[in-house]
Structure 1
Amino acid sequence: MDGDTLKAKSTFETLATLRIPYTGIDAKTFVLNCYKDAFKECLLENHVSTPAYAIIDSLNNIDSEQITPLLPAMVKLNTHMGGSIGMDETAICYTLEQVRTRCETIMKTFKSKALVEKYIKGKELTGIAIQRDNDIDVFVGQKIFSADYSFCSWKAVWIDEDSYAYNGPYDDSDGKIRELCIGGFRACGVTGYAKFDILVDQDGTPYIVDINPNCSLGQYDSAIDVVPSLFGRKFEVSLFAIINTALKVNKQRALEVAPQKALYFHT
């Protein structure tokens, strides 16, 4: 809303006040997940793997002893603006000076603190978690990038339709990714559905690098349809589960919302 992600919380608050059922997370969880350091702390506190990181709010606070162990590092906005905003070829930094330059760009351009995160080189996966009654279904696909890309940059997401594709269902026979997604789902207070960006290092250890607990809920082009479809899951089945969960959760939300004065709309 007006380029400010946080303003979107008013949508959740209005729906809750008017007791109109809606899918997905509530306002409190939305705000929490707007800040990458906040959701990463939730993951760590619940023993869910996420790459080591540091938050930079001033160029004067770039400490070589703190940053050097993170190199090479992925440097991105701490504020979750969605859609890989600000992610380009300069996001991966190999030296302290590159980190400094990248942090300066982020703070000046986007007015956001910078998240310096240890770069995990390996497979990039998308995990889709859909709540169904008391269970959580998890579907995982591996992104296969074209020769022009090595990670999901802004251009890869929004400009080049052929930047990556999913090459069939991902083999999670050991259950590591499922366990990771369910752990992240519960740690971050997600309701209904979520999309996880996951990296798997050379040793096979998976890490959650981002979570979108309010991802695009649409058919055909959205990950919440594409990835489950790799497993033969129809979008209608997922949508039914999401709406069914929303109806149950909203009954509880209605009980938690204090009676409000009538709202008057003037024209």
Structure 2
Amino acid sequence: MDIYKEISVKLNHNPILKSKVYFGMFIGLDENEEIFYETATQWCGLQIIEGKEIELRKPRPIVTKAYKEFFKSNVSIINSQEDFSLYLLIGGHAAIVSGLYFDIFGESSAGLPVTPFRHSWGGFTVVEAPKDAIKRKPSPKLRMQVLNRDHRRCKICGRSPEENIDIELHVHHIKPWSMGGLTVKNNLITLCKVCHDGLDPHFDQTLYDLTKTKLKTKEKVKKYRHHIASELKDSYGIR
């Protein structure tokens, strides 16, 4: 049994503490080699920043046994700082006791500014600095993040300046800024000038699907563990 399996089995068999509230979370590595974490949240208020509504959300308590059953028991039960330290080595789904969650992520998580995106068949949320999100023009750093995520290719026709010297790439708001769309990574997509100019309608919700990662959950966890192993080997010589 490898070390990741041993840690996973240990955390999976931790007791679910009675009368304690747990939050669900997930840690993985996306197709752009970026570590990310997700947590289930619920609405807890609104704030208005320069005329745009920004949701306030807080972690949503889970029914821990049902959470484990839903993910076929592949869930780490986090009751202590030691458990959390081990969990950071393996990633994946976890149920973390609420008091420890706030100790680690801060009490501000109880009122986290969240930019909500919705379309007809689903939705997702992105945590961003609200003042940056309401600016029309993306920062140079954000623009490069979007271009790199999209492999510097038009997400509609697939052409790239590396192969076609006449191609001019644009970073496009999927939901237009004029319609309340925000300047955040998940509302931006790389298009060539020809495809950008030809968008009809200009707000095409199907473009959201072109920005999503194609990795399955198991692949995200596998990539995360490989990343952590590489970091430990490079930094401490641990294999």
Question: Quick check: TM above 0.5?
Answer: no
Query: What is the TM-score with the length of structure 1 in the denominator?
Result: 0.22
Please say which structure displays the higher CA radius of gyration: 2
**Quick check: which one's strand share is greater?**
2
